[in-house]
């Protein structure tokens, strides 16, 4: 696979629901999305058709309905989006990214402990 398509914010909302549900019809996805904010069935349908064309969703026929599944994992998507952000906004500096995140949104004690654990783990890898 070449470069992975970057989902738009609306596409990420659809992917987020599908990562949780694993699969859904347009009607099922529309019901979930419509509870969050009003949206039309045809808008959701069009987004899902475009996402299928872009390679973000897989689609199979089941009777008259199409069942959609994410074609990419949440982890793959997050990694690609963070890498893109890191390169574009922070010139590849992990330090600047982490500084900005910690200054923008305070971390909980649990999150800080996990960050320390990850740093220790990363240091151990670089010593090998």
pLDDT digits 0-9 by tens, 88-101: 999 999 899 989 99
Residue 8 token pair: 């738009």
| CATH number attached to the domain at 1-92 | 1.10.10.10
The string of pLDDT tens digits covering residues 49-71 is: 999 999 999 999 988 889 999 99
DSSP 91: T
What pTM was estimated for this model as a whole? 0.81
- Evaluate whether 92 touches 79 at the Cβ level (below 8 Å): no
Domain boundaries along the sequence of the chain: 1-92, 93-128
Hunting for tokens 């893109």 — which residue is that?
84
3-state class (DSSP) for residue 23: coil
């Amino acid at each position: 696979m070449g470069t992975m398509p970057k989902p738009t914010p609306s596409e990420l909302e659809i992917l987020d629901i599908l990562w949780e549900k694993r699969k859904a019809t347009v009607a099922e996805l529309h019901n979930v999305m419509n509870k969050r904010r009003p949206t039309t069935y045809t808008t959701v349908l069009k987004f899902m058709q475009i996402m299928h064309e872009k390679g973000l969703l897989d689609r199979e026929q089941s009777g008259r309905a199409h069942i959609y599944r994410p074609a990419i994992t949440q982890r793959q998507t997050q990694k690609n989006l963070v890498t893109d952000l890191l390169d574009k906004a922070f010139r590849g500096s992990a330090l600047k990214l982490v500084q900005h995140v910690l200054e923008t949104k305070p971390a909980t004690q649990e999150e800080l402990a996990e960050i320390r654990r990850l740093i220790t783990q990363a240091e151990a890898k670089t010593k090998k």
